Amino acid sequence: MERIAVVGAGLIGRAWSMVFARAGLEVRLWDKVDGVAGRAMGLIANSLADLRAAGLVQETPEAIAARITPVATLAECVAGAVHVQENGPERLPPKQELFAELDRLCPQEVVLASSTSGIPASEFTGNLAGRGRCLVAHPVNPPYLVPLVELVGAPWTDPAVVARTRALMQRVGQVPVVAFKETRGFVLNRLQAALVAEAFRMVRDGVMSPEDVDACVKDGLGLRWAFMGPFETIDLNAPGGVADYADRFGPLMGGITEEQTPYDYDAPTVGKVTAERRAALPLEQIEARSAWRDRRLMALIAHKRGQEG
């Protein structure tokens, strides 16, 4: 059985552990804070039970969890691993230190991947002897439900490492996409940033309420986007496909983008959106609502799998 090392036992590390374990791989889980990896097993068990109840795993939660072993040291975690998935703090110095230690501990054939949401691999692997086997494998939260993984190498990452990581992600049920070069925030975050910034602008400029902006996505754009991306969407939105769409709507859509200046998350607008959200959902209910979101994602995944079959 192949072994995967998951470094960091927070939300993303726990999710990665489930992704690999439900695919039949052995997982070693470590966190620098004593006791965190052990306590993570209870949370993992709860999530696996939810997956089983939704019909998204065939094995029992206990059988899957048995392939995940919390360990006490980083050296024990990576021993014998073929792939390391790092989930450390989103700060550059700790990531540089951690990758230097991983590079020292792991044989050269072991891939070192980071789950970072926005730090390019070139910023924390440049001085490593084994920098060619390092890359970003950025998941979407929570990765055991949302399968997309962005693979982004540094300029010196070996293309064979990217290919090998893509094959692994496909084998464990994820949907890997490959960026040909590094960009600030990677691709998914850039797409999300454009939509979120425009949502804030519509509230700031008095065009629409936060509640109704949310409705434009969840009851409008989001229904299509659950099954197709922006290019397929516009390809179907004009009889002659993409070229016809660009001819018909290019002037309108291009003109809109000319108005979309950078947004700085100004305090008054953030405060207004925050007030409306807290009126709709008190802060102490966020955890319960997040659990509801995860169950809805499970139902959507089950539905999409049924459609694919």
| pLDDT score recorded for residue 308 | 66
**Helix/strand/coil (H, E, C) string of 201-231?**
HHHHCCCCCHHHHHHHHHHHHHHHHCCCCHH
**What residues contact residue 125 under an 8 Å CB cut-off, 6+ apart?**
99, 112, 131, 134, 154, 156
> Quick check: 265 and 200 in contact, CB under 8 A?
yes
| pLDDT score recorded for residue 1 | 73
| pLDDT score recorded for residue 306 | 80
Q: pTM for the full model?
A: 0.91
| pLDDT score recorded for residue 150 | 98
| pLDDT score recorded for residue 305 | 85
Nearest in space to 111 (alpha carbons), one of 82, 76, 138: 82
| pLDDT score recorded for residue 274 | 97
| pLDDT score recorded for residue 232 | 94
Mean pLDDT by 10 residues, the chain (309 residues): 95 97 98 96 96 94 98 98 97 97 98 97 97 98 95 98 98 98 96 96 97 97 93 94 94 93 94 96 95 92 79
